[in-house]
Amino acid sequence: MKKSLIAMGLVVSMMLPSVMNAQKVVCKVKGSDTCLPLSQKFAEVYGTKNPGSGISVIGGGSGVGISALLSGTTDIAQSSRKMKIDEKMKIQESGKSLKEVIMGYDALSVIVNPSNPVSKLTREQLEGIFTGKITNWKQVGGQDLKIIVYSRETSSGTYEFFKETVLKKKNFASNALLMAATGAVVQSVSQTKGAIGYVGLAYLEKDIKALDVSFDQGKNFVEPTVQNAKIKKYPITRPLYYYYISSKEAAFKPFINFILSAEGQKIVLAEGYVPLS
Amino acid sequence: MKTKKSTFFTAALVALSLATPALAQENAGTVSYSDVEQLQSDNALAKRLKISGYIQTQFQKADTAGIASFAGGDFTSGIDNRIAVRRGRVKFLYDNENAQAVVQFDITEKGLGIKDVYLTILEPWLNTVSVTGGVFDRPFGYEISYSSSTRETPERSRIFQTLFPGERDLGGRLSIQAPKTSNWNFLRLDLGLINGNGTNVETDKYKDFVGHLSATKTSADEKFKWGLGASFYKGGFAYTTTDLYTMKTTGADKSFIKETVKKGDRSLRQYLGLDAQLSCDWALGITQFRGEYLMGTQAGTSSSSSSLTAANLSAVSTATLTGSTAGAVTSSNVGKDVYSRPFAGYYAYLIQNILQTPLQAVVKYDVYDPNTYISGNEIASAVTVGKKTGSADVKYSTLGVGLNYRWSSNVKFMAYYDFVSNETTSNIVDASTLKDLSKDRNDNVFTFRVQYKF
């Protein structure tokens, strides 16, 4: 009896590590800078809970992530825009099928230097500023100060979303400064008095000021907050995507399940994003 | 002694194997920032050179041995099946920001051919205007520049193979397209000035104009994408005889009537084309429609409506004109009277990706009427005035059905069947099924192709 108990104990102890490692995930996530802090947190928490996991997360922009997925150099592309039909056709051309997962939402925030007295702008005013028609803060009730426009690069999903939703597809001002990363936009706006830019909600910090925006010609101004985005009051809200090749899903399915679980969605909220429900 | 030696040898091996990781770690530890910078710099340089290509190997079976075919060329006399390397392409592209150089070769069992040799320079101020010089795809329509490695069918339409054999020409091209950041990016204009002689050495003083204006848009939800384009070609080559034949009606006759032209003057090749594309991402997978319509005037010979380039030029004698036209023409089509025909043709594709599977079904229908002035029994009918028409004036339509299996990002399998139909005329009756046009010829072709793309 004693012997069989010992044997059972040995068998169980031998099985334990393999059970624990069943959730082990090793994969690469690349793309959107907006998604970057969130994906990093997912990877960190998941890695702590599942020893042996190795999830590397890199930014660069949604376009960069999707290109990496097309070329097979990343497992998951994180994107703050929907994949384009051309990109889907390229995936199909390579004989692969695509899986799309929405992991949360982001409220895109318009930011200025904290010293700027302007605290709210209408969509029309934003369009004027970012397209170069409004060039001085005094034209929108601010100081007599030249407006310095900061934008993300064209490979950024945030760039495309902002152009589509706020600028109604009009061109950015030719003198807009295109930054390679969201962090660079934050840093530049925090250090430049007349600066204006746009970043994901999770990037808001004390060195920059988020503006209330109005999409109804100034009748109602809404502050970019998780709550306002959640109740769909804040008008510049967008889904955040994970894209991956279906046939590779099994390798990181536990990680995706974790993101979509109640625990994962708590992280979404804690990191300043809007959870799925 | 032997044991001692082997022990020593083993010890040395162990010591060596232990030392290697230690050495590697030591080296890894001494990697400096400048080493990384050097690596990044080398990597950036290496990325400027891009090498790509594809190999297409295929088996084909024709209904009848020795048929003339647009499914990869005519079948050898007496042969109804063949295995061939249809295309073996290697492309070298050196891209240094606003300047590119491209060289592409085609290597098959027939030998080595040059496909592309061109340079492109994009102006750095607006990033909108680029200039290309060398051998490149003629900017006409959509199907010409649609890569054979991506195309869902084995070959381009009969009308493009006839009017633009080899797709390429030698010349210069001006392209205007606003950068991606611009709202005008959806428009593109290509204007070319080319020899009009394919990839051959220029044989006359005339240059041909070719242009394509296109617009492409995608819906905001990325479910639809459409494109529209219009193309124009105007050119021609120098007459090498004084006889030009054009279609005219004289009484009940529709025939080629001779006009006298001056040697060295220019014949007329004038084409107008319209193209449209629509892609739709929906529940059954991505569906694509593509179509193109062409019409115009073609300068050919009595036996062919094909553009006088490449193969048919080299097939005839070479000579230099003398007298008043000396120096104007040194053409290899000397001695061939020009037959001018009004033509029309089109193609339509329906391509359906089957759900999210690697399978793709395709149906294509294309029509080429080399001489719209006549049809049916008018073709080759006896005439009292002028010269009668012939087999070069017969209309062809081809229905193609196929299935593609994209096995991986490199490998694609294609099974495709061409149902070829010809216009019939009771005036061309021949015992040989290869020449008889009184009924539909048995010239369907099955193609099974394997492609490796890299």
Structure tokens at B6: 């082997």
Structural domain contains residue A192: yes
CB contacts of B281 in chain A (<8 Å) are: 85, 88
On whether residue A9 sits in a domain, the answer given is no
- Higher-confidence residue of A143 and A156: namely A143
User: CA of B11, closest CA in chain A: separation in Å?
Assistant: 35
If you average pLDDT over residues B420-428, what whole number do you get? 96
Residue B268 in this model has a pLDDT that exceeds 90: yes
Strand partners, B406: B412
Residue A51 within a domain = yes
Q: What percent of chain B has pLDDT over 90?
A: 74
Whole-number pLDDT of residue B183 = 83
Structure tokens that stand for A9 in this block: 């104990």
Say if residue A150 is in the same domain as residue A258: no
The yes-or-no verdict on residue B26 having pLDDT over 50 is no
* Domain contains A183: yes
Note the pTM of the prediction, 2 decimals: 0.81
Q: What is the pLDDT of residues A184-201, one digit of tens each?
A: 999 999 999 999 999 999
> What is the C-alpha to C-alpha distance for residues B150 and B272, in angstroms, rounded to an integer?
25
Please tell me whether residues A226 and A182 are part of one structural domain: yes
Chain B CB contacts of A169 under 8 Å are 183
In this predicted structure, what is the pLDDT of residue B203?
82
Apex CA B250: angle with CA B247 and CA B254, to 5°? Answer: 45
- Shortest CA gap B357–chain A (Å): 7
Kindly state whether residue A162 falls inside one of the protein's structural domains: yes
Which segment of A121-125, B25-29, B104-108, B164-168 scores lowest on mean pLDDT? B25-29
pLDDT over threshold 90, residue A212:
yes
Closest C-alpha among A40, A268, A35 to residue A161: A35
Q: Pinpoint the alpha helices (H) of A29-181.
A: 36-49, 62-71, 85-93, 123-131, 157-165
Give the residue-averaged pLDDT of A14-34: 72
Tell me the C-alpha distance between B22 and B30, whole Å. Answer: 13
A170–B222 C-beta distance less than 8 A: no
* Contact flag A170-B183 (C-beta cutoff 8 Å): yes
Q: Average pLDDT of B121-131?
A: 95
- Give me the mean pLDDT over the A32-40 stretch: 93
- The answer on pLDDT for B307 being more than 60 is yes
What span, in angstroms and rounded, lies between the C-alpha atoms of A210 and A199? 9
Same domain for A79 and A146, yes or no, is: no
The b/e string for A174-202 (b: 16+ C-beta within 10 A; e otherwise) is eebbbbebbebbbebbbebebbbbbbbbb
Per-residue model confidence as pLDDT tens digits over B366-417: 999 999 999 999 999 999 999 999 999 999 999 999 999 999 989 999 999 9
Question: What does the pLDDT look like over A226-266, one tens digit per residue?
Answer: 999 989 899 999 999 999 999 999 999 999 999 999 999 99
**Containing H/E element for B258?**
strand B253-260
Closest approach of chain A CAs to the CA of B43, in angstroms?
Answer: 16
Residue A9: what pLDDT?
57
ipTM: 0.75
pLDDT of residue B318: 39
Does A20 contact B at CB distance below 8 Å? no
Q: What single letter denotes the amino acid at residue B378?
A: E
Confidence band, pLDDT 50/70/90 cuts, at residue B315: very low
**Whole-number average pLDDT of chain B:** 88
Q: Of chain B residues 409-438, which have a CB less than 8 A from chain A?
A: 409, 411-412
Q: What per-residue confidence (pLDDT) applies to B420?
A: 98
Q: A145 and A134 in one domain?
A: yes
State whether A92 and B279 contact (CB < 8 Å): no
Task: Give the Cα separation of B249 and B257 in Å (integer).
Answer: 9
Mutate which of A66, A89, A92 to test chain B, going by most B C-beta atoms within 10 A?
A92
The parent domain of residue A86 ranges over: 24-105+239-270
Residue corresponding to tokens 């974790």: A258
Q: Residue A137: what are its φ and ψ, rounded to 5°?
A: -60, -25
Alpha-carbon torsion, ordered B364, B368, B372, B375, to 10 deg: -80
pLDDT tens per residue across span B65-85:
999 999 999 999 999 999 999
For B209, other C-beta atoms within 10 Å of its C-beta total: 15
Kindly tell me if the per-residue pLDDT of A221 is higher than 50: yes
Could you read off the pLDDT of B28-63 as tens digits, one per residue? 567 788 888 888 888 888 889 999 999 999 999 999
Cβ-defined contact of A171 to B360 (cutoff 8 Å): no
In a domain, A159, yes or no: yes
Q: Choosing among B226, B281, B359, B410, which should be mutated to test the A contact, i.e. which has the most A CBs within 10 A?
A: B281
One-letter amino acid of A277? S
The residues near B425 (Cβ < 8 Å, ≥ 6 apart) are B376, B377, B378, B379, B380, B381, B394, B437, B438
Task: Answer yes or no: is A3 within a domain.
Answer: no
Number of domain units in chain A:
2
pLDDT in tens, B250-266: 999 999 999 999 998 99
Is the pLDDT at B330 greater than 50? The verdict is no
Q: Is A174 on the interface with B (CB under 8 A)?
A: no
CB contact under 8 A, A95 and B181: no
Q: What are the chain A neighbours of B408 within 8 Å (beta carbons)?
A: 94-95
pLDDT at residue B199 is higher than 90: no
> Does A119 share its domain with A203?
yes
Q: Does A177 touch chain B (CB under 8 A)?
A: no
Q: Residue A77: which of A28, A24, A25 has the closest Cα?
A: A28
Taking CB atoms and an 8 Å limit, are A154 and B224 in contact across chains?
no
pLDDT-derived band at B10 (thresholds 50, 70, 90) equals: low
CA distance B289 to A90: 17
Answer yes or no: do B356 and A246 touch at CB < 8 A. yes
Question: Any idea which fold B55-453 has?
Answer: Porin (2.40.160)
In Å, the largest CA–CA distance within chain B is 113
Please check whether residues A119 and A226 belong to one and the same domain.
Answer: yes
- The answer, for A154 touching chain B at a CB cutoff of 8 Å, is yes
**Interface with A, mutate which of B406, B413, B414, B451 (most A CBs under 10 A):** B406
Domain assignment of residue A140, yes or no = yes
Contact with chain A for residue B281, Cβ under 8 A: yes
CB burial class (10 A; 0-12, 13-18, 19+) of residue B413?
A: middle
Q: Give chain B's end-to-end CA distance (angstroms, integer).
A: 56
pLDDT at B5: 52
In DSSP notation, A140-188 reads GTS-S-B-EEEEE-TT-HHHHHHHHHTSTTPPPPTTPEEESSHHHHHHH
Q: What are the chain B neighbours of A171 within 8 Å (beta carbons)?
A: 181-183
If one compares B181 and A64, the residue with the highest pLDDT of the two is A64
Flag whether residue B277 sits within 8 Å of chain A, measured between CB atoms: no
Whether A181 and A155 have beta carbons less than 8 Å apart is answered as: no
Contacts of B450 in chain A (CB under 8 A): none
Residues of A in contact with B353 (CB under 8 A): 92
Does pLDDT of B321 surpass 90?
Answer: no
The reported pLDDT for the residue numbered B42 is 87
Chain A contacts in chain B segment 89-148 (CB below 8 A): none
DSSP string, B402-453: EEEEE-SSSEEEEEEEEEEEE---TT---SSTTT--SS-----EEEEEEEEE
- Judge: A95–B408 Cβ closer than 8 Å, yes or no: yes
pLDDT band at residue B177 under the 50/70/90 scheme? very high
Q: What integer pLDDT is reported at residue B432 of this predicted model?
A: 87
Name the amino acid, one letter, at A197.
Answer: G
The ranges assigned to domains in chain B are 55-453
Between vectors from CA B163 to CA B157 and to CA B164, what angle results, nearest 5°?
85
Q: Answer yes or no: are the C-beta atoms of A245 and A251 closer than 8 Å.
A: no
CATH code of A190's domain: 3.40.190.10
Predicted confidence band of residue B27 (pLDDT cuts 50, 70, 90): low
Reported as a pLDDT band with limits 50, 70 and 90, residue A3 is: low
Proportion of chain B above pLDDT 70, given as a percent: 88
Contact B95, B86 (CB under 8 A): no
B260 touches chain A (CB under 8 A): no
* Alpha carbons B269 and A199: distance in angstroms, whole number: 56
Both structure tokens of A266: 């708590």
Say whether pLDDT at B20 is over 60. no
Do the Cβ atoms of B78 and B66 come closer than 8 Å?
yes
Cβ within 8 Å of residue B324, ≥6 positions away: B264
Residue with tokens 């399940």: A257
Total CB pairs under 8 A between chain A and B: 58
Question: CA B21, CA B24: separation in Å to the nearest integer?
Answer: 5
Q: Do A95 and B182 touch (CB under 8 A)?
A: no
Please tell me if residue B405 touches chain A, with a CB cutoff of 8 Å: yes
Q: Is A93 on the interface with B (CB under 8 A)?
A: yes
Instruction: Answer whether A246 touches B (CB < 8 Å).
Output: yes
Q: How far is CA A53 from the centre of its chain?
A: 23
pLDDT at A85 over 70: yes
A225 and A168 fall within a common domain: yes
Instruction: Judge whether residue B243 has pLDDT over 90.
Output: yes
What pLDDT is stored for residue B311 in this prediction? 40
Name every chain A residue with its beta carbon within 8 A of the beta carbon of B358.
92, 95-97
